[in-house]
């Protein structure tokens, strides 16, 4: 069971309302340049946030959240590494909202194809 912060749903709602995959003010991340691809990626992340908001009341577990992450990441067709890293940043923001401290290597596996922590 996750120990959800009392304002988890409010934080998720605020995050869902923010634009995603757009250039940041610092110029460090230049955003997804193709408008269709940007809208599609934003819809995937917003859909993920929505499913987590709805599912947490019935299944407030780490396994539920990680399964939702995996399903959403598998639908993202981002090929640019910076865009894939940005998708992981959104997942990490969701993790912060729900009080989840680790993706158990899921983000590393999706981004890099392996979890560096598993190599010894």
| pLDDT attached to residue 97 | 98
Q: What is the mean pLDDT of each run of 10 residues along the chain (120 residues)?
A: 94 98 94 97 98 95 98 96 97 98 95 80
Predicted confidence at residue 114, as pLDDT, reads 87
**pLDDT for position 115:** 77
- pLDDT value at position 82? 96
- Here the tokens at position 84 are 């894939």
- Residue closest to 49 by CA, chosen among 92, 94, 89: 94
The pTM of the whole model exceeds 0.75: yes
Of 43, 104, 44, nearest to 73 (Cα)? 44
Domains of the chain: 8-118 (1.20.1480.40)
Q: Given this model, what pLDDT does residue 92 score? A: 98
């Amino acid at each position: 069971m996750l120990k959800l912060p009392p304002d988890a749903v409010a934080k998720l709602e605020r995050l869902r309302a923010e634009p995603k995959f757009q250039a940041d003010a610092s110029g460090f991340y230049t955003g997804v340049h193709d408008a269709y691809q940007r809208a599609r990626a934003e819809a995937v992340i917003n859909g993920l946030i929505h499913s987590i908001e709805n599912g947490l009341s019935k299944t407030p577990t780490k396994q539920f959240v990680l399964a939702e992450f995996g399903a959403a990441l598998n639908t993202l067709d981002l090929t640019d590494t910076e865009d894939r890293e940005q998708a992981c940043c959104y997942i990490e923001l969701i993790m912060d909202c729900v009080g989840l401290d680790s993706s158990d290597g899921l983000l590393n596996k999706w981004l890099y194809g392996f979890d560096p922590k598993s190599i010894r």
